[in-house]
Amino acid sequence: MSHHYIRYTNVHYSYPSGQEALKGVDLLIKHGEKVALLGLNGAGKSTLLLLTNGLLLPTEGEVNVGDVPVSKKTAPMVRRAVGMVFQNPDDQLFMPTVWDDVAFGPRNMQLPPSEVERRVEVALRSVGAWDLRDRAPSDLSGGQKRAVAIATVLSMEPNILVMDEPSSNLDSRTREQLMAIVNDFHHTVVIATHDLEMALELCPRSVIMKDGRIIADGLTERLLRDQELLELAGLSLTPALAEYVEK
Amino acid sequence: MSGIDKAIVALRELDTGATRIAIDARIQLIVALGFVVVVLTVPLTNPGALVWMFAYPIIMSEASGVGYLRVLKQSLWVLPLIAAIGMFNPILDTRPVAVVMGITLTEGWVTFAAILLRGLLSVQALLVLTNTCGFREVCRALQRLGCPAVLVTQLMMLYRYIGVLLEEAQSMHRARLARGFGRKSYPLKMWSEFVGQLLLRSIKRAQRVHLAMLARGFNGNCFIEWARPSLHWRDLTFLLGWAAVIIALRFLPINAFLSNLISR
Amino acid sequence: MHRADALVSPPIAAAAGVIALTLIVTASKEISRNKREGMIPLMGILGAFVFAAQMINFTIPGTGSSGHIIGGVLLGALLGPWCAFLTLCSVLIVQCLVFADGGLMALGCNIINMAAMSCLVAYPLVYRPLVHVNASNARIMWVSILACVVGLECGALLVTVETVASQITALPFGEFLLFMLPIHLVIGICEGIATGLVIMVIKHGNPALLQYDDDREVDPSLRYRRRMTLIAFGAAAIAMGIAFAWIASTNPDGLEWSIMKITGSPELQETINPPTAIMPDYNSHIAGVVGGVIVMAMVWAISTLLFRKKKHKLA
């Protein structure tokens, strides 16, 4: 997997309940790109991320990570390459201490203890949470939880980072910290969000989804200027952002 | 519903409030367990011997900085529970055993007092243990002492999510209060809707947690693995010291000695 | 329903502890053997759910008092007997360790009385054979009530046996039982109605969650499992019996005392010393007790001062 592109070819996905979440998605994300997935809740963003990680498998079509088609068999391998940060850190942090949680991934990869320790330290330092290592997730603040949740994924040293609504429920300071972390990550990043400001700041490229389909794909700056498109996708600019875009 | 608030506070205190003492949790667990066993061997006809046993919770809670007052307060709630069963003794067992200041003391009352003291002691021993070790350390100790990994993992997961779910239940309850529901307990129909919704939400959360685990390579292996740190000399001193003190308090006739001293 | 430490004697506590531990180890092995570790997040969170649900009281119709569920049969319906048992055990352990509910010595008794009786007896022997995937609401309701009553009455019976065998209460076995069983019948009916209603909510909201039963019916190891459950309980009963016999033989005074309570026989009463003979001894004893209380107060005061000082130094 030398070239960490992600390719979705005519991807369909229906949930067991019969709800059709993706209705034919074609998309190529190249290595090192930072891409925002924009759209309302239920547009299919989260489903697309779960498919990238092999946590769901397409009912039709194919997802490729690098040269590897994502299947039940390749899923464990794919999950090492694709780190997924979930929307709610409380769902991601299930271990008794921060340290144990960040070590969970490397331990499952059956790395030697010294390597696990090294990775945990590197990951926690990179999100500025090394001092929190002995704390329990339940006594962390929202921003700290988010930072640690990202560290749990970074410790697996993924080549692709996918994040689901990473900026929800964050105050402005921790939001900035989050952006710094993402900026420091030199591989591919895919962020599903409806935080347009963050998309503009972090991701040169944006993909807009609606009802399980991609309705636009291009430079974030250009897409955010297209009032008609944003209205169609159900997205709206904050006043500050509108002012910025007009300039 | 104040029960939920109280439980949340208790959890927080346990996580952050307690001062730890630097003794291996295994040893503390063994001492606490041994203490409770010794307490239970004191015959019910001899509540006097039980009074001496309070030395353990008092010294431990003060030494760890928890404070005995807090332990005492937390332990008092067991009294009505124990009294409910023990109350038959004074009623049924009316043999007089002593006359104190003109009041005849029956054996029933003596055993009743002993039952209450026993209850307080064993609960206090437990409170001291969790307050000085913290729940996670107790879990680790359990695993090192050979508890099945599945159970220990289960305990950790449970402990991790109690706070999360209590807060969820609390916010659901508050939403109901805001809509004018003012009673303390729910009519059955409403209760089942409330609890059913909480259950459905909990299951959805469990599914998301499971996904998050799978995303990080969870393959069904139990993942709690801790190193086994060796015991220090201070751990052994602690164990032997308390063993000696507890056994002395239990078996030396301190009461008789003291009353001789007083009557002389 | 929680048993408190004060109400069990060491041999009973030890016997119950051994049985509870055996059941826990068996459950853990069952879970690993059937590769059900995928259930761990569900078990952990449902444990936390039971914990939270126990804090939410419902009004018991017609009485004005309120109650909460134990949740064993409900967990059984969602997780199957062994996972449910382990989940409920973990709830009891946390209640014991974190909230000092019950007690360390009574933990084994509590696990047997509450978790094992509901998850390993009432659920597999009553609920599962009687409720199928397409069961009507009415059927779910009456089977839930039946299962909960069976679970709680078995528990109440064991509580009585344990307490009487521990020789704590002066109340004789028969009367104690007459006191316990009707109370737990009422509690069981309430728990059953509550459980039935919640299962209906789940059936309405997401019926797939209850299809656990369906999968299990096909499982060929089901029978083996049921037999294992029965064997475990047979062993439990025998161990209890041995413990009881052991106490009776090593502590004849205590047994005599309780026999006298039950029969009121004057022959046995004669063997006990006349009250006057005990009195002086007890008077000195009381002096000792007063002395003990004073000394303990001093211990508290001294240790407070001692350790406060130490902390100041550290700070």
Task: State the smallest CA–CA distance between residue A94 and chain C in angstroms.
Answer: 9
| Span between the terminal Cα atoms of chain C, in Å | 45
B12 vs A: CB within 8 A: yes
Q: Using CA coordinates, name the residue in chain C closest to A91.
A: C41
Comparison of pLDDT for C36 and C19, the residue scoring more: C19
Q: How would you classify residue C274: left for phi > 0, otherwise alpha for psi between -120 and 50, otherwise beta? A: beta
Task: State the smallest CA–CA distance between residue C44 and chain A in angstroms.
Answer: 10
- Contact between A58 and A13 under an 8 Å Cβ cutoff? The reply is yes
Q: Does C296 lie in the same domain as C248?
A: no
Specify if A95 maps to a domain: no
Specify if B64 maps to a domain: yes
Which domain covers residue A217, as residue numbers?
A: 6-89+159-246
**Inter-chain residue contact B217 with A105, CB threshold 8 Å:** yes
- Which of A49, A53, A91 should we substitute to test contact with B (largest number of B Cβ atoms within 10 Å)? A91
The closest alpha carbon to C1, from C125, C184, C140, belongs to C184
Q: Does B74 lie in the same domain as B179?
A: no
Pairwise CA distance, residues A53 & A65, whole Å: 9
Q: Does B154 lie in the same domain as B41?
A: no
Task: State the smallest CA–CA distance between residue B212 and chain A in angstroms.
Answer: 6
State the CATH number of the domain containing residue A235.
3.40.50.300
Q: Does C181 lie in the same domain as C57?
A: yes
Averaged pLDDT score across all residues of chain A: 87
B249 vs C: CB within 8 A: no
Q: Does B235 lie in the same domain as B198?
A: no
**Inter-chain residue contact B209 with A91, CB threshold 8 Å:** yes
Domain count of the fold of chain A: 1
Q: Does B76 lie in the same domain as B40?
A: yes
Residue A122 — very low, low, confident or very high, per pLDDT cuts 50/70/90?
A: very high
Residue C87 — very low, low, confident or very high, per pLDDT cuts 50/70/90?
A: very high
**Inter-chain residue contact B208 with A136, CB threshold 8 Å:** no
Chain C hits for A94, Cβ within 8 Å? 41, 44
**Inter-chain residue contact A108 with B218, CB threshold 8 Å:** yes
When computed from its CA atoms, the radius of gyration of chain C, rounded to whole angstroms, is 24
CB-CB: which of A91, A109, A139 is closest to B16?
A139
Specify if B224 maps to a domain: no
- Contact between C2 and B84 under an 8 Å Cβ cutoff? The reply is no
Pairwise CA distance, residues A42 & A61, whole Å: 20
- Which of A94, A101, A104 should we substitute to test contact with C (largest number of C Cβ atoms within 10 Å)? A94
Which domain covers residue C280, as residue numbers?
A: 276-315
Q: DSSP letter string over B118-148?
A: HHHHHHHHHHHHHHHH-HHHHHHHHHHTT--
Given a cut of 50, the residues of chain B with pLDDT beneath it are 1, 17-18
Specify if C77 maps to a domain: yes
Specify if B144 maps to a domain: no
Pairwise CA distance, residues C16 & C116, whole Å: 12
CA C29 from chain center: how many Å?
22
Residue C254: what pLDDT?
37
Residue C280 — very low, low, confident or very high, per pLDDT cuts 50/70/90?
A: very low
In 3-state terms, what secondary structure has residue C103?
coil
- Relative orientation angle of helices C81-99 and C10-33, to the nearest 10 degrees: 130
**Inter-chain residue contact B160 with A138, CB threshold 8 Å:** yes
Q: Does B154 lie in the same domain as B109?
A: no
Q: Does B86 lie in the same domain as B53?
A: yes
Q: Using CA coordinates, name the residue in chain C closest to A92.
A: C41
Q: Does C195 lie in the same domain as C150?
A: yes
Which residues between 203 and 242 in chain B have a beta carbon less than 8 angstroms from any beta carbon of chain C?
Answer: 203, 205-207, 209-210, 213, 220-222
Residue A85: what pLDDT?
92
Chain B hits for C282, Cβ within 8 Å? 97-98, 105
Domain count of the fold of chain B: 2
- Contact between A193 and A36 under an 8 Å Cβ cutoff? The reply is yes
Residue C220: what pLDDT?
47
* Mean pLDDT value across residues C142-159: 89
Q: Using CA coordinates, name the residue in chain A closest to C41.
A: A94
- Contact between A210 and A39 under an 8 Å Cβ cutoff? The reply is yes
Averaged pLDDT score across all residues of chain C: 72
In 3-state terms, what secondary structure has residue C291?
helix
Specify if B10 maps to a domain: no
Residue A9: what pLDDT?
92
The closest alpha carbon to B39, from C106, C3, C240, belongs to C106
Specify if A31 maps to a domain: yes
Q: Does B123 lie in the same domain as B23?
A: yes
Specify if C296 maps to a domain: yes
B201 vs A: CB within 8 A: no
Q: Does C172 lie in the same domain as C43?
A: yes
State the CATH number of the domain containing residue C50.
1.10.1760.20
Q: Does C109 lie in the same domain as C241?
A: yes
Residue B184: what pLDDT?
66
CB-CB: which of B139, B215, B221 is closest to A55?
B215
Chain C hits for A15, Cβ within 8 Å? none
Specify if C133 maps to a domain: yes
Query: What's the ipTM?
Result: 0.85
Specify if A199 maps to a domain: yes
β-pair type (C66-67, C58-59): antiparallel
**Inter-chain residue contact B48 with C292, CB threshold 8 Å:** yes
**Inter-chain residue contact C89 with B88, CB threshold 8 Å:** no
Chain A hits for C208, Cβ within 8 Å? 16
Q: Does C289 lie in the same domain as C174?
A: no
Specify if B195 maps to a domain: yes
Chain A hits for C42, Cβ within 8 Å? none
Q: Does B71 lie in the same domain as B174?
A: no
CB-CB: which of B74, B96, B189 is closest to C100?
B74
CB atoms within 10 A of CB B210: 20
Specify if B42 maps to a domain: yes
Domain count of the fold of chain C: 2
State which of C211, C234, C259 marks the end of a domain: C259
| Span between the terminal Cα atoms of chain B, in Å | 56
Chain A hits for B200, Cβ within 8 Å? none
CB atoms within 10 A of CB B176: 16
Residue C269: what pLDDT?
35
Residue C159: what pLDDT?
84
pLDDT digits (tens, 9 = 90+) for A123-178: 999 888 899 888 888 888 888 898 899 999 999 999 899 999 888 777 788 888 88
Q: Which chains touch A (3 or more CB pairs under 8 A)?
A: B, C
Lowest mean pLDDT across A185-189, B172-176, C257-261: C257-261
Pairwise CA distance, residues C39 & A58, whole Å: 24
Specify if B167 maps to a domain: yes
β-pair type (A6-14, A60-65): antiparallel
Q: DSSP letter string over chain A?
A: --S--EEEEEEEEE-TTS-EEEEEEEEEE-TT-EEEEE--TTSSHHHHHHHHTTSS--SEEEEEETTEEP-TTTHHHHHHHEEEE-S-HHHH--SSSHHHHHHHHHHHTT--HHHHHHHHHHHHHHTT-GGGTTS-GGGS-HHHHHHHHHHHHHTT--SEEEEESTTTT--HHHHHHHHHHHHH--SEEEEEES-HHHHHHH-SEEEEEETTEEEEEEEHHHHHH-HHHHHHHT----HHHHHHHH-
B125 vs C: CB within 8 A: yes
Task: State the smallest CA–CA distance between residue B136 and chain A in angstroms.
Answer: 7
**Inter-chain residue contact B82 with C205, CB threshold 8 Å:** no
**Inter-chain residue contact B199 with C275, CB threshold 8 Å:** no
- Which of C24, C25, C35, C56 should we substitute to test contact with B (largest number of B Cβ atoms within 10 Å)? C56
Specify if B142 maps to a domain: no
Can you tell me which residue has the tokens 């649900």?
C53
**Inter-chain residue contact A79 with B225, CB threshold 8 Å:** no
**Inter-chain residue contact B51 with C293, CB threshold 8 Å:** yes
Specify if A233 maps to a domain: yes
Chain A hits for C44, Cβ within 8 Å? 94
**Inter-chain residue contact C94 with B254, CB threshold 8 Å:** no
C205 vs A: CB within 8 A: no
Helix (H) / strand (E) element for C66: namely: strand C66-67
**To the nearest whole percent, how much of chain A has pLDDT over 70?**
98
* Mean pLDDT value across residues A26-55: 90
Task: State the smallest CA–CA distance between residue A243 and chain C in angstroms.
Answer: 46
**Cα dihedral across residues C61, C64, C68, C70: positive or negative:** negative
Q: Does C185 lie in the same domain as C47?
A: yes
CB atoms within 10 A of CB A184: 10
Specify if C301 maps to a domain: yes
**Cα dihedral across residues B55, B136, C17, C101: positive or negative:** positive
In 3-state terms, what secondary structure has residue B85?
helix
| Span between the terminal Cα atoms of chain A, in Å | 42
Strand order in the sheet with A68-69: A20-29, A6-14, A60-65, A68-69
Q: Is the pLDDT of residue A214 over 60?
A: yes
Structure tokens at A13: 């996905």
* DSSP letter (8 states) at residue B99: E
Specify if C14 maps to a domain: yes
- Contact between A187 and A66 under an 8 Å Cβ cutoff? The reply is no
Which domain covers residue B168, as residue numbers?
A: 149-215
**To the nearest whole percent, how much of chain A has pLDDT over 90?**
34
- Relative orientation angle of helices B107-133 and B25-41, to the nearest 10 degrees: 180
